[in-house]
Amino acid sequence: MKNKSFFTKSFYIFYVTFILLIVGAFYIFRTFDNTSSDIEKLTLQSNIVYISNIANNIAALINKKTDMQLMNTLQKSKALRESLQENLELFRTKRYRYIYVVQKIPRTEDFRFLLDGAKKEKSEFLEIFQPLNLQKWLGVYKTKEPCYFRHNDIKNLWLTYLQPIVQHNQVVAIIAIDFSLHEYNYMHHELSELSSSVKVFMSLLLFIFILVLILAFIDKKRVYLLQKQAKEIQHFNTTLQNKIDEEVEKNREKDKKILEQSRLAQMGEMLGMIAHQWRQPINAISATSITINMQAQMDILDAKSAISLAEKIEELTQHLSKTIDDFRDFFKPTKEQQNITYADLLASTLDIVGVSIQNKNITITTDIKSDVVFHTYVNELKQVLLNLIKNAEDVLEEKKITNAFIKIEAIENRLIVRDNGGGIPEDIIEKVFDPYFSTKTLNGTGLGLYMSKTIIENHCNGTLSVTNDADGAVFCIVLPQT
Amino acid sequence: MKLLFVLLIFFISVHADVYTQKLYETILGSIFKERPIPIFVSGEAKATLEKSTLFYIVKNCQESSVAVVGDDFTPKQECKNIPIFATTHRSYMRIEDAFGAFYWRKGRPQIYFRKRGLKMFHLNLPLDLQRFIDEK
Ligand SMILES: Nc1ncnc2c1ncn2[C@@H]1O[C@H](COP(=O)(O)OP(=O)(O)OP(=O)(O)O)[C@@H](O)[C@H]1O
Ligand SMILES: [Mg+2]
């Protein structure tokens, strides 16, 4: 959104600049046109001022040297004519192409040459002459004022300046000065060169501007594409995250299922253990009841011994009941974390499995060098320990190890369970924590270690690892200290 | 830019040249009726007249309808019956029988006709050229 507004903003800036540039260009062209026509006017004026001075001087000179009868005077004296013509020649330059003095032939509209300041193609004295723009020439005779006019039809001439020679308030002749086009063309050439360079410059500027505009547009497009890509990536990432979450969720479901399965399996085992636990008290109850029976038949059952025997049975049934409670507690998943030490954990676990293990001739020893109190899921932890003990028991039983033992050590925050069952073969040690991995052909679900690892590492934030030592497998639980 | 300038100058001069040719064609073409007009030419005008398709230049004065002459021309016996048209002021003045002239003076075209010459050869001027007849 921010980017978008930025782009529209910059676009407006470009747009406005573009308009300004075009307006500026038009303004410059207009000003230039005005200026060039001004220059033309100024040049014309300065030329006219200059030439009127010259023409005045020439007129004065001619007046001084001649009298009223200009034509007659000149006709009489060839020398005077020549000296005056030399004077005219002096003024003739590149700029002033022709300078000559003509006189109107009375009663006609033709003129005749009196003096000609030309070297080449010189007219003859009194040669007849038909000027163009005749009215202007006749006009000078009427107004007695100098005049000038432009040419469009005469080769190489720009304009003509006419200066009357006035004697006794009468125009006796006209000094005609024809301006060469050379000057005019030169000026025009310079101006048009200037104008063309201005035009080139302006169009270059416009071109550059348009180029910048196009580049900006391309860049905008590029940035847009980049943004689009970034968005796509982001979208991809979120969908990826979603997928991951989904997978994780699925995994969790699977774990739940697995947990259920393993719990069922453990139930079966538990029943076995309960059976072990109960055998001895049930035997004792049976023996007591037999004793009561025998004493009653032999009639030696007195009240005192009857009470004592009943109390014994009572005590034994209490024990049975307690065992059931213990097992029930054991399989209740803990909703909340509770405080426990390794010592308590071991005591309550061995309460349950201790008897069944000892019945299998396996020595179980504990060594507790830890009084750390953990705040954790106690029942789950018990199940882990139970699993480890069960696995050890399984391997010891399967391999029929003599002097079989299980040693449980607690050091600080570590709980180590070792046995002398020969360890886990190196080629499968990597896989024992995988779900459904089991080497047991009968009754092996392969979920025990997988569940244990999940409980320790995912729920209790600890680690569960396995190594082999000289005697057998060594499982190590490390719990975080709070 | 320079090239354009040169072209402009060139155009103007070419234009003037074409103008000269056009003037010869209108003047002579309105007086002499045959097409093309056989003309005898001497002097500067030759180059211009050669380009025109209206004229057909003959070497001999007698075969022509009109002799268009410049300063170098001297009236000969065989041209006696041929009307003469001058192309310079001087030749026009010198050859008194010349019926007319056309030349440039101070960048202005100068056209003149003499009554005497026109009469002599029974030439009729169209109306728009009659104002160039000099009255003497
Ligand atoms: N203490 C041990 N010594 C040697 N091998 C062991 C030991 N503990 C586990 N194993 C090996 O690891 C495998 C996986 O154990 P796990 O507890 O995950 O499954 P299981 O014991 O086979 O099945 P279940 O636990 O359901 O009876 C066992 O099959 C066994 O080969
Ligand atoms: Mg197991």
Tell me: the pLDDT tens digits for A102-111? 999 888 888 9
Chain B contact set for A178 (CB, 8 A): 106-107
Residue of B16, B107, B132 lying closest to A178 (CB–CB): B107
Which of A119, A128, A160, A193 has the most B C-beta neighbours within 10 Å, making it the best mutation to test the interface with B?
A: A128
Q: How confident is the model at residue A458 (pLDDT cuts 50, 70, 90)?
A: confident
Confidence of residue B9 (pLDDT cuts 50, 70, 90): very low
Pick the CATH number of A336-478 from 3.30.565.10, 3.30.70.330, 1.25.40.10, 3.30.750.24: 3.30.565.10
Mutate to test the pocket of ligand 1, among A267, A432, A467, A471 (most ligand atoms within 8 A of CB): A432
Is a pLDDT exceeding 70 seen at residue A331?
A: no
The pLDDT value recorded for residue A102 is 92
- Residue A365 phi, psi dihedral angles, 5° rounding: -120, 150
The one-letter amino acid code at A132 reads: L
Q: In the predicted model, what is the mean pLDDT of chain A?
A: 85
Residue A115, min C-alpha distance to chain B (Å): 13
Question: For a pLDDT cut of 90, what percent of chain A falls above it?
Answer: 27
Could you tell me what percent of chain A has a pLDDT over 70? 96
Count of domains observed in chain B: 1
| Residue B86 included in any domain | yes
With 0-12 CB in 10 A as exposed, 13-18 as middle and 19+ as buried, what is A325? exposed
Q: How far is the centre of ligand 2, averaged over its atoms, from the C-alpha of A274 (Å)?
A: 18
Q: Where are the beta strands (DSSP E) in A170-231?
A: 170-180
Paired tokens of A11: 């676009």
List alpha helices for A66-161, DSSP H: 70-76, 78-91, 134-143
Interface test with chain A among B27, B91, B105, B113, by most A beta carbons within 10 Å: B105
What value does the mean pLDDT take over residues B94-118? 88
CB atoms within 10 A of CB A335: 8
The per-residue DSSP string of A429-444 comes to TTTTTSTT----SSS-
Helical (H) or strand (E) element with A162: strand A157-167
pLDDT at A1: 44
Q: What are the residue ranges spanned by the domains of chain A? A: 2-180, 336-478
For residue B2, is pLDDT > 60? no
For CA atoms A435, A439, A441, A443, the dihedral sign is negative
Q: How far apart are CA A42 and CA A185, in angstroms?
A: 15
In a domain, B93, yes or no: yes
- The reported pLDDT for the residue numbered A2 is 47
Cα(A450)–Cα(B93) distance, integer angstroms: 140
The complex's ipTM?
0.80
Distances (CA, A) of B113 to A110, A189, B84, B85, B133: 13, 41, 11, 9, 4
CB of A105 within 8 Å of any CB in chain B?
no
A150 touches chain B (CB under 8 A): no
Q: What is the pLDDT of residue A4?
A: 54
CA of A374 to the centre of ligand 1 (A): 27
Question: Which ligand 1 atom minimizes the distance to the CA of A449?
Answer: 18
pLDDT tens readout for residues A268-326 = 777 777 777 787 788 888 888 888 888 889 888 888 888 888 888 888 888 888 778 77
As a whole number, mean pLDDT of residues A334-351 equals 87
pLDDT at B17 over 80: no
Between chains, do A176 and B106 touch, taking CB under 8 Å as contact?
Answer: yes
Residue of A nearest to B3 (CA): A189
Work out which ligand 1 atom sits closest to the CA atom of A419.
1
pLDDT at A264 over 80: no
Q: Sign of the C-alpha dihedral, residues B8, B13, B18, B23?
A: positive
* pLDDT, tens digit, 9 for 90 and up, residues A87-146: 888 888 877 888 999 999 888 888 999 999 888 888 888 888 988 888 899 999 999 999
> CA–CA separation, A206 vs A21, rounded Å?
7
What per-residue confidence (pLDDT) applies to B13?
Answer: 47
- CB pair distance less than 8 Å for A181 and B90: no
- Specify if B12 maps to a domain: no
Q: Whose CA is nearest to atom 12 of ligand 1?
A: A432
Residues of A in contact with B87 (CB under 8 A): none
Q: Is A124 on the interface with B (CB under 8 A)?
A: yes
Closest atom of ligand 1 to CA, residue A475: 1
- Write the CATH number for B25: 3.40.50
How far from the centroid of its chain's Cα atoms is residue A402's Cα? Answer: 72
Given a contact cutoff of 8 angstroms between Cβ atoms, the answer to whether A386 and A352 are in contact is: yes
pLDDT at A24 over 60: yes
Tokens standing for A80? 């005077």
Band the pLDDT of B14: cuts 50, 70, 90.
low
Find how far residue A299's CA is from the centre of its chain.
103
More confident residue, A155 or A1: A155
CA distance A454 to A313: 43
CB contact under 8 A, A123 and B1: no
H-run or E-run covering B91: helix B89-94
Asked if the peptide bond before residue B38 counts as cis, ω within 30 degrees of 0, the response is no
Cα of A442 from ligand 1 centre, angstroms: 12
Q: What is the pLDDT of residues A37-64, one digit of tens each?
A: 888 888 888 888 988 998 898 888 888 8
Q: What pLDDT, in 10s, does the model give residues B20-31?
A: 888 888 888 888
DSSP class of A132: S
Q: What is the pLDDT of residue B20?
A: 84
Strands (E), A396-440: 405-411, 414-419
The CATH superfamily label for domain A2-180 reads PAS domain (3.30.450.20)
Mutate to test the pocket of ligand 1, among A273, A384, A385, A394 (most ligand atoms within 8 A of CB): A394
Residue position matching structure tokens 């014994």: A312
Which position has the higher pLDDT, A425 or A451?
Answer: A425
Interface with B, mutate which of A130, A152, A184, A200 (most B CBs under 10 A): A130
Distance CA B64, CA B56 (A): 9
Q: Is residue B59 part of a domain?
A: yes
Residue in A153, A209, A148 with CA at minimum distance from that of residue A181? A153
Question: Higher-confidence residue: A385 or A155?
Answer: A385
Q: Which residue segment(s) compose the domain that B24 sits in?
A: 17-130
In the chain, the amino acid numbered A258 is: I
For residues A115 and B125, give the distance between their C-alpha atoms in angstroms, rounded to a whole number: 32
Backbone angles phi and psi of B23, in degrees to 5: -65, -45
User: Using 50, 70 and 90 to split pLDDT, how confident is the model at B12?
Assistant: very low
pLDDT exceeds 90 at position A414 = yes
| Contact call for B106 and A127, based on CB within 8 A | no
A155 in contact with chain B, both atoms CB, cutoff 8 A: yes
